[in-house]
């Protein structure tokens, strides 16, 4: 399976360079810019086939993504879309990777309830968690509240938003074409609570983890917390924007604040032990790298130590994206360990 994390970094560099050139071109030929925008709007990817939602708690349902990475075959359906049915309406926790996926989720919601969607929460700025905002704005109006941490909002509203839209189209062979960027229009803060009729949502943020702006949303009455991508069930996480020790700190503080929960990840099945099991895997990468740096060993020696660690080796044959990403994320851990150690 391809190294999506590496492609993200390369695509960022190419996108930023291309953006500078396109800005000059657009200034000289506004008609060309308008034509390009109209052409993009005209091309629409195919509908996303229905995926039946599954209820995991009294108020919470999930439309599960079977694959962990975007492909033409899965049409970008790589991350779960969670929705909370309250007495005041439906709340979305991460909206999916495209307009088409968001539209499919709306069809599934209408099989469960006739209540409208009244709010959307985006956990972080990676596009598979917010590109579906378009469908909900299209269906429920431009004033629909879309919440996120301030930095997530700023990243999506900036270059990052269009970069993710373009990359998702390329990865899926244009299956997500027609999707437009709709950034969050409201921000949240750690500890803030929202009441939607009979359901309370509590916001959690404990610093840099998968990214430097990862929002976890606790459905208080259900003892369920949506954790986005800070932890995954059986997929190796993209750590390009993250921190290993930051992740361990986030886990510790979130668990202490929320107590026993059903943790719902952006990728994979929910479980009460996900922070522990995924944390063990990440520790199997981080601790050998830190030890190698402290002992003056090379990155290649650190890699051998990680691959031999039973916490990592036990997941090698079953974890999605392991073969194509483990080397890169060992390198990231080694680089971060050098900063921590020195």
Helix axes 4-28, 30-42, angle to 10 degrees: 140
Tell me the pTM. Answer: 0.88
For 298-323, give the DSSP string. Answer: -HHHHHHHHHHSHHHHTTTTTSBTHH
Helix, strand or coil, per DSSP, at residue 249: helix
* Residues 113 and 203 placed together within one structural domain of the fold: yes
* Residues 99 and 153 placed together within one structural domain of the fold: yes
* Residues 79 and 175 placed together within one structural domain of the fold: yes
Q: Is residue 1 part of a domain?
A: no
Q: Is residue 19 part of a domain?
A: yes
For 253-294, give the DSSP string. Answer: HHHHHH-S-EEEESSS--BTTHHHHHHHHHHHHHHHHHHHHH
* Residues 191 and 325 placed together within one structural domain of the fold: no
* Residues 70 and 130 placed together within one structural domain of the fold: yes
* Residues 227 and 85 placed together within one structural domain of the fold: yes
- What is the per-residue pLDDT across 168-182, written as a single tens digit (0 to 9) for each? 999 999 999 999 999
Q: Is residue 47 part of a domain?
A: no
Greatest alpha-carbon pair distance for the chain in Å reads 62
Residues near 95 by beta carbon (within 8 Å), at least 6 away in sequence: 81, 101, 102, 105, 120, 122, 129, 130, 131, 132, 133, 135, 136
Range of the domain at 38: 7-42
The Cα–Cα gap between 143 and 338 comes to 46
Q: What is the CATH number of the domain that holds 93?
A: 3.60.15.10
Pairing of strands 117-121, 146-148: parallel
Q: Is residue 148 part of a domain?
A: yes
Query: Would the pLDDT of 144 be above 50?
Result: yes
Q: Is residue 238 part of a domain?
A: no
- What is the per-residue pLDDT across 293-321, written as a single tens digit (0 to 9) for each? 999 999 999 999 999 999 999 999 999 99
CA neighbours within 13 Å on the CB side: how many for 30? Answer: 0
Higher pLDDT, 27 or 280: 280
The helix/strand count (H/E) of the chain reads as: 11, 12
* Residues 164 and 210 placed together within one structural domain of the fold: yes
Q: pLDDT confidence of 27, banded at 50, 70, 90?
A: very low
Pairing of strands 186-187, 146-148: parallel
* Residues 133 and 23 placed together within one structural domain of the fold: no
* Residues 102 and 214 placed together within one structural domain of the fold: yes
Query: Would the pLDDT of 43 be above 60?
Result: yes
Domain end position, chosen among 271, 299, 332? 271
DSSP 235: B
The total of structural domains in the chain comes to 3
* Residues 32 and 109 placed together within one structural domain of the fold: no
Mean pLDDT of the chain: 91
Neighbours of 41 (CB within 10 A): 11
Residue 2 has a pLDDT of 44
Residue 35 has a pLDDT of 54
Percent of the chain with pLDDT strictly greater than 90: 85
Residue 183 has a pLDDT of 98
* Residues 115 and 37 placed together within one structural domain of the fold: no
Burial tier of 27 (Cβ tally within 10 Å: 0-12, 13-18, 19+): exposed
Q: Is residue 206 part of a domain?
A: yes
Q: Is residue 95 part of a domain?
A: yes
Torsions phi, psi of 142, nearest 5? Answer: -70, -15
Q: Is residue 204 part of a domain?
A: yes
* Residues 311 and 331 placed together within one structural domain of the fold: yes
């Amino acid at each position: 399976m391809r190294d999506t994390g590496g492609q993200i970094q390369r695509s960022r560099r190419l996108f930023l360079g291309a953006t500078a050139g396109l800005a000059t071109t657009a200034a000289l030929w506004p008609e060309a810019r308008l034509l390009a925008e109209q052409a993009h709007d005209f091309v629409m990817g195919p509908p996303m086939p229905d995926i039946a939602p599954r209820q995991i708690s009294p108020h919470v349902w999930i439309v599960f993504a079977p694959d962990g990475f975007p492909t033409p075959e899965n049409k970008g359906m790589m991350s779960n879309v969670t929705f909370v049915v309250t007495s005041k309406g439906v709340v979305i926790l991460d909206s999916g990777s495209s307009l088409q996926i968001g539209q499919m989720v709306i069809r599934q919601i209408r099989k469960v309830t006739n209540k409208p969607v009244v709010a959307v929460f985006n956990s972080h700025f990676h596009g598979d968690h917010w590109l579906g905002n378009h469908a909900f704005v299209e269906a429920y109006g431009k004033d629909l509240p879309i919440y996120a941490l301030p930095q997530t909002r700023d990243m999506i509203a900036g270059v990052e938003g269009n970069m993710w839209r373009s990359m998702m189209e390329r990865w899926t062979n244009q299956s997500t074409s027609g999707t437009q960027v709709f950034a969050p229009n409201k921000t949240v803060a750690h500890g803030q609570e929202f009441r939607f009729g009979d359901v309370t949502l509590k916001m959690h943020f404990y610093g840099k983890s998968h990214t430097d702006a990862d929002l976890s949303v606790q459905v208080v009455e259900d003892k369920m917390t949506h954790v986005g991508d800070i932890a995954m069930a059986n997929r190796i996480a993209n750590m390009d924007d993250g921190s290993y020790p930051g992740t361990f700190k986030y886990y510790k503080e979130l668990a202490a604040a929320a107590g026993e929960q059903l943790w719902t990840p952006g990728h994979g099945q929910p479980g009460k032990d996900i922070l522990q099991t995924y944390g063990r895997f990440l520790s199997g990468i981080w601790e050998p790298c830190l030890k190698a740096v402290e002992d003056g060993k090379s990155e290649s020696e650190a890699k051998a130590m990680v691959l031999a660690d039973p916490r990592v080796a036990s997941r090698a044959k079953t974890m999605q994206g392991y073969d194509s990403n483990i080397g890169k994320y060992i390198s990231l851990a080694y680089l971060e360990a050098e900063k921590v150690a020195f």
